[in-house]
Amino acid sequence: MSLQMTADSNDQSATEPFVAHGPARRGGSILLVLLIAAGIVAVAVWLMTIGRTQAQPYILGVLALLATVGLFNLFAFAAGIIRFSDRATDDPVMGRIADHAQEGLVVTDARGHVVYSNAAYLALTGAASAQEVRPVERVFIGNPDVSEAVFRLLKAAREGKRQLEEVRVAGHDGSQGGQGGQARWLRLRVRPLGQGKRDSKYAVWSIADITRDRERQEDVFQELRHAIEYLDHAPCGFFSVNPAGEIAYVNATLANWLDYDLAEIGSGGLKLSDIVSGDGAALLAAIQPVPGEVKTEVFDIDLRMRGGKTVPVRLYHKLAFGADGAAGASRTLVISRARDEHSDPERAAEVRFMRFFDHTPMAIATVDRGGNVVGANARYAKLAQSLNGEGGAAKSIFRAVNPRDRGLLIAAINHAAEGQGDIPPVEVMLDGPKERFAQFFVTTVEKDERDAETAIVYMLETTERRALENQINQSQKMEMVGQLAGGIAHDFNNVLSAIMMANDFLLNAHKPTDPSFQDIMQIKQNATRAATLVRQLLAFSRRQTLRPQVLDLGDALSDLTMLLRRLIGEKVKLDLVHGRDLWPVKVDVSQFEQVVVNLAVNARDAMADGGKLIIRTGNVSTEEAAQLANKGMPAADYVKIEISDTGTGIPAEIIDKIFEPFFSTKEVGKGTGLGLSTVYGIVKQTGGFVYVDSVPGEGTTFRIYLPRYRPEQEDAPEAHAGNGAAKEAGAGAEAAKPKPDLTGQGTILLVEDEDGLRALNARGLRSRGYSVIEAANGVEALEAFAEKDGAVDLVVSDVVMPEMDGPTLLKEMRSRSPELKIIFVSGYAEDAFEKSLPENQQFAFLPKPFTLTQLVAAVKETMTAK
């Protein structure tokens, strides 16, 4: 270790060390140490030779001298006059670098006292000597332009952080090293001196004069401003687009053409598609990327003005690609071609053609024999981008076609390459994430050695047309299936009526103890089951007889809770969430219950391992209904029933088929395929709508919308509904409680075109005491009615019959006998024929199939009614 002395500064206390610029450092010497040691040894030998008595005063003097020197050094070290330094850190090279650095350097301790400064710092701060050096904050004290920056630097120095500030110092005086009153730019830095504990209390400050650099920057800025000013007022338009398609720059000329304000465009938010008309933006984005290259393409397109008008322009679009093929910001030169339409007829024709070519709704591309696109319009570029999803159109037109149909387009282009004319259009599936279709029209091109084109391909997307055709076909198919189902149900009801009527005769003829009684009961049960299937067919075809009544859906669902819990089992949790203040609806209670039960059973089957079934109700106002994306549902007030499950869901490929009759995904024998078709038919016949949403693996939700019932809008009761027989239960069901005495007297005209069924019905009525006249159709019924001279108490007639149907028969008979009572029986719903009846006609209705008890009960009630 060596000692180093520092000179006192004029502005420091005597106890604070100050190292001036270029302090003299004296290194230790081994020779000096040896000389001091030799001297001490010589003195000791001399004292030993003169004797102890004589040497004692000298010894005390030497010890006193050494003690004095030691105490002086101890006090000097404590006062900081003498300090120890590590010779290993005294690097003369680094010292010279700091001393002769161009930047002013100054080192301060924790209290802000200067411990080192170089010559550049003295020059920049105007200090005449090392004794006059001051810290940075004292140099610029009182200068308001610098005070805030110095404050931030001092704060960073106290916190041991780095900080940089650039300040402008105006009007420096001589003490600050200024030259006259000229302003200067200074860069001030501060950083902690090293990372060790010994150096952490010191901070290194640097000051650099960057006035010349600032002047150069100002010159560059002025030149740039002049260039931008020239660019803004150039006779051509310029704009730049970033990779996201946002306008990054537009010059004043182009903004004026488009009727935009430059400040408005500079605020952001304007996209390329906002200023390019039609699909022109797709052309600019369709440039094929070439990694590391810059490509310039020329386009003739229309730009869109703020008001919607268009301006024909030619674009020189320059686009640079990175090493990874990613597109950077584009630079585009815009030349207006609007004047060409008046000055040059040929150019005007070219402009009109390009506008027609790019704005046609059909995608057009010219291709070579290999299918590579040579040129294309904007519509093709947009379509190709949507298919490829690569930010640019595919080079080959074959990539736009699904591989399964690609051979058809290849063959058509080969025919064109061979010069063949009248090439038939090709209908293919497009390639892409969604199912899309298009029709390609290929025409040959006159061969030219200079041109690479082989064919012109016109492409028209037909996805929407095919979807509409499929929708119409599906609707027609559903309608045909509905008619078929209704016709089958009508004929089958006649068969079932005969079976059930004959079965009743057998039951009346056999006692319960008879061995055949159980077989007859089995026939009855199976006939009833068949009648249930027929009702489902009629529900699908919407020809089922409904008995609507006003009810609260919340109460109706609460009554079903116990039944639903038994149906879905213990593995499935049932939650009912009722909406508040539900509006009333008018529905057939039994049919509504069938809808809910069918959907609950389907949900249960979709949750074999358990899950959750949620039934929600709520009101949907007209405004809310208008915002729903439900096709075919007009805006009105509805009550919504939402039935959701957490099951396996419905695959997307079959979700459009679930309402078709006999369609089922269940195993053979586990379903008829009529459940959802019945739901569909009942809801539609009620005037409601049903929609389904499903996510495979997550669950399915059925939403049923029933129209709100308004008493003030209820039509007056139909005259024919006044007869009690019209309140009879659905087909195949026994009367709730038959009257004890179903016998009666009177003449009944029975009109039925089915001979077997007519004979059974007549036999049943005769067995109850009635006189029956049989007729096979309406003509025979009128003849029998005339023979009796109208002396008929009741007419029981089928609705659909050859030669003359039931409604026509009613009109003829009522014209002769206005008070004549009539009961219509039919396998169709009452609504299927009531529109063909004259107004204010009273009649009763009994749906097929019916039992003997139901028939005689309806006859008895109608004949006794007043």
Of residues 341 and 252, more confidently modeled = 252
Given this model, what pLDDT does residue 670 score? 44
Residue 125 inside a domain? The answer is yes
CA atoms within 13 A on the CB side of 178: 18
> What integer is the mean pLDDT of 346-370?
74
One domain for residues 574 and 696: yes
pTM of the model: 0.40
One domain for residues 309 and 423: no
Given this model, what pLDDT does residue 705 score? 93
One domain for residues 326 and 360: no
Cα–Cα distances in angstroms (integers) from residue 837 to residues 128, 705, 834, in the given order: 124, 31, 5
> What integer is the mean pLDDT of 763-788?
88
Question: Is residue 363 scored above 80 in pLDDT?
Answer: yes
Question: Is residue 165 scored above 70 in pLDDT?
Answer: yes
Sign of the alpha-carbon dihedral angle for 45, 47, 53, 54: positive
One domain for residues 569 and 703: yes
Last residue of a domain, one of 280, 308, 343: 343
Three-state DSSP class for 667? coil
Band (724; pLDDT cuts 50, 70, 90) = very low
Which of 238-252, 417-431, 825-839 comes out lowest in average pLDDT? 825-839
Residue 831 inside a domain? The answer is yes
Given this model, what pLDDT does residue 35 score? 84
> What integer is the mean pLDDT of 321-328?
70
Q: Hey, how many other C-beta atoms are within 10 angstroms of the C-beta on 142?
A: 7
One domain for residues 339 and 306: yes
One domain for residues 479 and 504: yes
Q: Is 389 left (phi over 0), alpha (psi -120 to 50) or beta?
A: left
pLDDT in tens, 413-452: 888 888 887 888 888 888 877 788 888 898 888 766 556 7
Last residue of a domain, one of 461, 493, 509: 461
Residue 728 inside a domain? The answer is no
Amino acid letter, residue 826: S
Given this model, what pLDDT does residue 640 score? 93
The Cα–Cα gap between 309 and 23 comes to 80
Q: List Cβ neighbours of 525 (8 Å cut-off, separation of 6 or more).
A: none
Q: Considering only CA atoms, which of 516, 513, 514, 507 is closest in space to residue 767?
A: 507
Angle value at C-alpha 711, between 708 and 715, nearest 5 degrees: 100
The Cα–Cα gap between 375 and 358 comes to 12
User: Which pair of tokens denotes residue 176?
Assistant: 């600050």
Number of compact structural domains in the chain: 6
One domain for residues 757 and 795: yes
Q: Hey, how many other C-beta atoms are within 10 angstroms of the C-beta on 736?
A: 8
Of residues 277 and 164, more confidently modeled = 164
Band (245; pLDDT cuts 50, 70, 90) = confident
One domain for residues 691 and 810: no
Q: Supply the CATH number for residue 676's domain.
A: 3.30.565.10
Residue 123 inside a domain? The answer is yes
Given this model, what pLDDT does residue 682 score? 79
Sign of the alpha-carbon dihedral angle for 509, 515, 521, 527: negative
Amino acid letter, residue 435: E
Given this model, what pLDDT does residue 500 score? 81
Band (618; pLDDT cuts 50, 70, 90) = very high
The Cα–Cα gap between 293 and 197 comes to 55
Given this model, what pLDDT does residue 716 score? 42
Given this model, what pLDDT does residue 796 score? 92
Band (16; pLDDT cuts 50, 70, 90) = very low
Last residue of a domain, one of 284, 315, 343: 343
One domain for residues 692 and 595: yes
Question: Is residue 738 scored above 70 in pLDDT?
Answer: no
Question: Is residue 107 scored above 60 in pLDDT?
Answer: yes
What integer best gives the mean pLDDT of the chain? Answer: 76
Of residues 79 and 465, more confidently modeled = 465
Which of 384-393, 674-683, 694-703 comes out lowest in average pLDDT? 384-393
Given this model, what pLDDT does residue 734 score? 40
Q: Supply the CATH number for residue 512's domain.
A: 1.10.287.130
Band (24; pLDDT cuts 50, 70, 90) = very low
Band (8; pLDDT cuts 50, 70, 90) = very low
Q: Where in the sequence is the domain holding 137, given as residue range(s)?
A: 92-171+180-210
Given this model, what pLDDT does residue 602 score? 85
User: Which pair of tokens denotes residue 745?
Assistant: 């007297």
Residue 804 inside a domain? The answer is yes
Question: Is residue 729 scored above 80 in pLDDT?
Answer: no
Q: Supply the CATH number for residue 155's domain.
A: 3.30.450.20
Instruction: Classify residue 316 as exposed, middle or buried by CB count within 10 Å of its CB (0-12, 13-18, 19+).
Output: middle
pLDDT in tens, 373-404: 887 877 787 777 777 654 444 578 888 888 88
One domain for residues 681 and 554: yes
Phi, psi (deg, nearest 5) at residue 430: -80, 155
Q: Supply the CATH number for residue 787's domain.
A: 3.40.50.2300
Given this model, what pLDDT does residue 638 score? 93
Residue 21 inside a domain? The answer is no
Three-state DSSP class for 162? coil
Q: Considering only CA atoms, which of 865, 847, 851, 863 is closest in space to residue 770?
A: 863
One domain for residues 251 and 338: yes
The Cα–Cα gap between 498 and 191 comes to 109
Question: Is residue 828 scored above 90 in pLDDT?
Answer: no
- Give how far the C-alpha of residue 384 lies from the chain's centroid of Cα atoms, to the nearest Å: 22
Question: Is residue 644 scored above 90 in pLDDT?
Answer: yes
Of residues 551 and 532, more confidently modeled = 551
Which of 67-71, 152-156, 267-271, 569-573 comes out lowest in average pLDDT? 267-271
pLDDT in tens, 189-212: 998 886 554 556 788 998 888 888
One domain for residues 112 and 155: yes
Give the N- to C-terminal CA distance of the chain in Å, as an integer: 136
Given this model, what pLDDT does residue 2 score? 32
Q: Which residues pair with 399 in a beta bridge?
A: none
Relative to beta strand 104-108, strand 114-117 is antiparallel
Residue 43 inside a domain? The answer is no
Residue 40 inside a domain? The answer is no
